[in-house]
Chains A and B, each alone.
Chain A
Amino acid sequence: MRARTLLASAVILLTACEREDRRLNAPPPNPPQQFVTDVRLQPGPTQISDTTEGPYDDNAPGTAEGQQLFSQMNCSGCHSNGGGGMGPALMDDQWIYGSRPDQIFASIAEGRPNGMPTWKYRLTNQQIWQLVAYVRSLSGLTPKSARPTRADHMMVKPANSQTPNAKPKNTVKP
Chain B
Amino acid sequence: MFAVGGAVWLAVVVAMLISIARRGEPSFGGRSSGLTMFVAGTGIVLASFLAYDFAVGRDLAKRGAPTLTIGVTGHQWWWEVEYEDLRPSQRMITANEIHVPTGQLIELKLRAADVIHSFWAPNLNGKRDLIPGYASSQWFQADTPGVYRGQCAEFCGLEHAKMAFFVVAQTPADYLAWRTASAAPHTPPADSIGAAGLRVFLSSGCPLCHTIAGTDARGTVGPNLSHLASRKTLAAGTLLNTRENLMGWIVNPQALKPGVHMPAIPLKPAQLNAVVTYLESLK
Contact = CB atoms under 8 A, between A and B. Distances in A.
Interface of A: 22, 24-25, 65, 68, 72-73, 121-124, 126-127
B210 to A, nearest CB: 12
A124 B266 CA distance: 8
Nearest to B158: A22
B258 A68 contact: no
Nearest to B265: A124
Given A65-B261, A72-B209, A72-B221, A122 B204 contact: yes
B265 to A, nearest CB: 7
28 contacts: A22-B158, A22-B258, A22-B259, A24-B254, A24-B259, A25-B255, A65-B261, A68-B261, A72-B208, A72-B209, A73-B208, A121-B203, A121-B205, A122-B204, A122-B205, A122-B208, A123-B205, A123-B208, A123-B263, A124-B205, A124-B263, A124-B264, A124-B265, A124-B266, A126-B263, A126-B264, A127-B205, A127-B263
A131 to B, nearest CB: 12
A72 B266 CA distance: 20
User: Which 7 pairs across A and B sit closest by C-beta, in order of nearness?
Assistant: A24-B254, A122-B205, A124-B263, A72-B221, A24-B258, A127-B263, A122-B208
Contacts of A25: 252, 254-255
Contacts of A22: 158, 258-259
A22 B261 CA distance: 12
Contacts of A123: 205, 208, 263
Nearest to B208: A122
Contacts of A127: 205, 263
Contacts of B263: 123-124, 126-127
Interface string B252-274: 10110011010111100000000
Interface of B: 158, 203-205, 208-209, 221, 252, 254-255, 258-259, 261, 263-266
A24 B257 CA distance: 10
A63 to B, nearest CB: 14
Contacts of B208: 72-73, 122-123
A88 B268 CA distance: 36
A121 B204 CA distance: 6
Contacts of B255: 25
A56 to B, nearest CB: 13
Given A122-B208, A123-B205, 17 more contacts: A22-B158, A22-B258, A22-B259, A24-B254, A24-B259, A25-B255, A65-B261, A68-B261, A72-B221, A121-B205, A122-B204, A123-B208, A123-B263, A124-B205, A124-B266, A126-B263, A126-B264
A163 B208 CA distance: 32
B142 to A, nearest CB: 35
Contacts of B205: 121-124, 127
Contacts of B254: 24-25
A59 to B, nearest CB: 14
A65 B263 CA distance: 11
A147 B266 CA distance: 28
Nearest to A23: B254
B149 to A, nearest CB: 27
A25 B255 CA distance: 8
